Amino acid sequence: MKNLIKQLTEAYGPPGYEHAVRDIIKDHVTPHADQVETDPLGNLHVVKRGSGGGLKVMLAAHMDEIGLIVTHIDDKGFARLTPLGGVRAETMVGNRAIFTNGALGVINIDNWLMHDGLDSSHRKLYLDFGVKDKKSVPVRVGDVAGFERPWVDLGETMVAKSMDDRIGCAILIETLQQLQQTPHEVHFVFTVQEEVGTRGAATAAYKVHPDVSIAVDVTDSGDIPKRKNFDVKMGDGPAIKVMDGGMLAHPGLKKWLADTAAKNKIPYQMEIMTFGTTDARAMQLAHEGSAAGAVSIPCRYVHTPSEMVSYSDAQNAVKLLVALLSGPINLEDGKR
């Protein structure tokens, strides 16, 4: 699975420009799927039809990563930018932006040497392509960048610029490949534009019209210096979402996830976030609604160039999803 994670996390894929990621995923899923289709917004729908008698299940992982868009280029060849998604300005100094044509720009901030490091708003950031004038700049206003940073294997943990949410994409691919049999009609959907407001999942869920929906995405990790009152820890197993800033998980679904993990001796933890959200919010609200929840991978330093996750958490998430999809779904004892 590590080769797949490397390939996915190093690919270019800011919001709305997920084609390179989609092509990689298509190659891996096509031999294992009954149907593979790209919808008008760019979501990749991968369907596995089960033996029958089950429900329609939608799993979602987003292909996009946070990015930048060029807003202005000055006469000396420096470009101004605005973020696509939750880019933190303080993580940008020294970062590298990569464009779809391969152009690379280094990012810095006005008055770098004199800067106090605290007031780093996006308006003060600029891209430097190593040129001296406007005509030598290899990009135009409106061009979109992701970030350039290699995947690194630290053994039990891995670091990349886009674990959010290529780790979810890898987990879905691996789950499809390992799933021997299922009674359900399972839609593995690789979504677009999550980072700018779960837009791909909204139209995809409208198309699929699922009974049950589960997002697989990263969440914060509480085991870092001075992070208080957040019990999710990297390496302690996938986290079953209870709530976040955009949704409350379906109580029956949440219980089914936890019971299945316990029955199969898969480590898990419960996640309660007070901010942010995932594709599960969009899937929960499509049509008349679906029973929605999320399996979250604890991630240190989400939305920085060095997002860190545990390999065992990713493997356990695959085990959990395979176990969930292999049998019947019971949403009844959640006491909604």
Looking at beta carbons only, is 143 or 164 nearer to Zn ion?
A: 164
Q: Which residue is nearest to Zn ion (CB)?
A: 165
How near is the Cβ of 52 to Zn ion at its closest, in Å?
A: 33
Closer by beta carbon to Co ion, 276 or else 334: 276
Q: Which is nearer to Zn ion, 64 or 143 (by Cβ)?
A: 64
* Closest by Cα among 294, 291, 290, 289 to 278: 294
Mark the segment that binds Co ion (CB under 5 A) among 163-171, 204-212, 228-236, 277-285: 163-171
Q: Please tell me the distance from the alpha carbon of residue 42 to that of residue 22, in angstroms, as a whole number.
A: 8
Give the nearest distance from C-beta 85 to Co ion in angstroms: 7
Cα torsion 48, 50, 55, 60 to 10°: value is -20
Q: Least distance in Å: CB of 129 to Co ion?
A: 27
- Is 164 near Co ion (CB under 5 A)? yes
Q: Which stretch binds Co ion (CB under 5 A): 73-81, 148-156, 164-172, 229-237?
A: 164-172
For the bound state, the minimum distance from the C-beta of residue 129 to Zn ion, rounded and expressed in Å, comes to: 29
What is the DSSP-derived secondary structure letter of residue 238? Answer: P
Q: Would you tell me how many other CB atoms lie within 10 Å of the CB of residue 37?
A: 11
Our finding on whether 65 is near Co ion (CB under 5 A) is no
Q: Which is nearer to Zn ion, 185 or 217 (CB)?
A: 217
- Residue number, 60 or 186, with CB nearest to Co ion: 60
CA–CA gap between residue 301 and residue 41 (Å, rounded): 29
| Binding-site string for Co ion from residue 110 to residue 149, where x marks contact by CB under 5 A and - marks none | ----------------------------------------
d(CA 160, CA 31): 27
Least separation in angstroms between CB 144 and Zn ion = 18
- Of the CA atoms within 13 Å of residue 198, those in its CB half-sphere come to 22
The amino acid sitting at 76 is K
Strand partners for 82: 69
Q: Which long-range contacts (CB under 8 A, 24 or more apart) does 6-10 make?
A: 6/151, 6/153, 6/160, 8/162, 8/166, 8/169, 8/170, 9/151, 9/160, 9/161, 9/162, 9/163, 9/166, 9/167, 10/150, 10/151, 10/160
Query: Would residue 194 show up in a list of annotated catalytic residues for this protein?
Result: yes
220 binds, among Zn ion, Co ion, none (CB under 5 to 8 A by kind): none
Selected catalytic residue, list 65, 148, 185, 194: 194
Q: Which of 240, 191, 246 is nearest to 219 (CA)?
A: 240
Binding site for Zn ion (CB under 5 A): 164-165, 217
257: closest CA among 266, 245, 247, 246?
266
- Minimum CB–partner distance for residue 334 and Zn ion (Å): 25
Binder of residue 185, out of Zn ion, Co ion, none (CB less than 5 to 8 A by kind): none
217 binds, among Co ion, Zn ion, none (CB under 5 to 8 A by kind): Zn ion
State the binding partner of 148 from Zn ion, Co ion, none, CB within 5 to 8 A by kind.
none
Q: Which is nearer to Co ion, 185 or 313 (CB)?
A: 313
Under rule CB under 5 A, residue 279 binds Co ion = no
Are the CB atoms for 141 and 73 separated by under 8 Å? Answer: yes
The whole-angstrom distance between residue 50's C-alpha and the CA centroid of its chain comes to 26
Binding partner selected for residue 18 from Zn ion, Co ion, none, CB under the kind-specific 5 to 8 Å limit: none
Cis preceding linkage at 165, omega within 30: yes
C-alpha torsion sign, points 252, 172, 85, 192:
negative
185 binds Co ion (CB under 5 A): no
164 vs 313, beta carbon nearer Co ion: 164
Smallest distance from Co ion to CB 278, Å: 8
Q: Are 234 and 223 in contact (CB under 8 A)?
A: yes
Q: Which residues bind Co ion (CB under 5 A)?
A: 164
Give me the active site residues, please.
194
